[in-house]
Structure 1
């Protein structure tokens, strides 16, 4: 009975969620390269923005791979006729993972920041509280903050992973205002 109720609630939630969901960036680098192989402008931009970056990894990424791996769209202001390679930089700093897509001249095209959330904004806490009242037995096991940035938009959201006594998992994605944007079953 409990499983049927959960399934019914999940179906209703999936049908009512907003069409706009968080981006899921897949970092695709066809050629891992050394720091020395990157243009000086890209290195200078990284060191200026993030002087304490640790565990930095560098990738040279052809444009066609960028379009697939970063879900690059017209909004990102890339010229489809451009044949220049791009560079992805991935690093950690202060318990944060950062991914950046750069042009050879050091221009940041798109970035993604991922950080474990020790606390959640009050509206997100309230939404989780409401869900836990309607779905007893579910416990929050992880909270992550994401910020995706491009030249034309910024998207911030929180991913909350919940588990029940039967070992089932759900990923819930909330806007900072507490709006549930997406629900994934695992």
Structure 2
């Protein structure tokens, strides 16, 4: 998997611009064919020096591999890798999708037995703890009290985020900051 920059000429304006694509090389017989997995657009802003790292990180996320990088991955690279991996996972059809659609037409029973002990969650998200914590904060009127103390809206959001982070994922200040960075928590 790698990132390719493609030159495109606009027929109307005669301008040259570049588009970026996530490409995978697949061996078919004795030839290697390159397939575009994802169009990254013309406003792709990751530095060219980080392209290989980005492609490696996307591949690791797709295959569920733990991050064994010795060098830390920049936040913009990690965010782009997460976004691309999520798009690729969403595009991938379920393994039994073709079978289930043909089974529907043939009237075959659609029920399957599932071994509960073998279920594996991919990128799980939680909302229960965060919702309960935010409800408790709002019920206690903490946000109004912080406003009365002179805090502005971003400061209140940061304080509430830290409180919810400590309740949902107890740890150090650094781990709370990391948890807030990857969770989809927002105060409205």
Normalised to the residue count of structure 1, the TM-score between the two structures is 0.22
* Greater relative CO (CA pairs within 8 A, separation 6+): 1
Q: Say which structure is richer in helix.
A: 2
Query: Which structure has the bigger radius of gyration?
Result: 2
Normalised to the residue count of structure 2, the TM-score between the two structures is 0.22
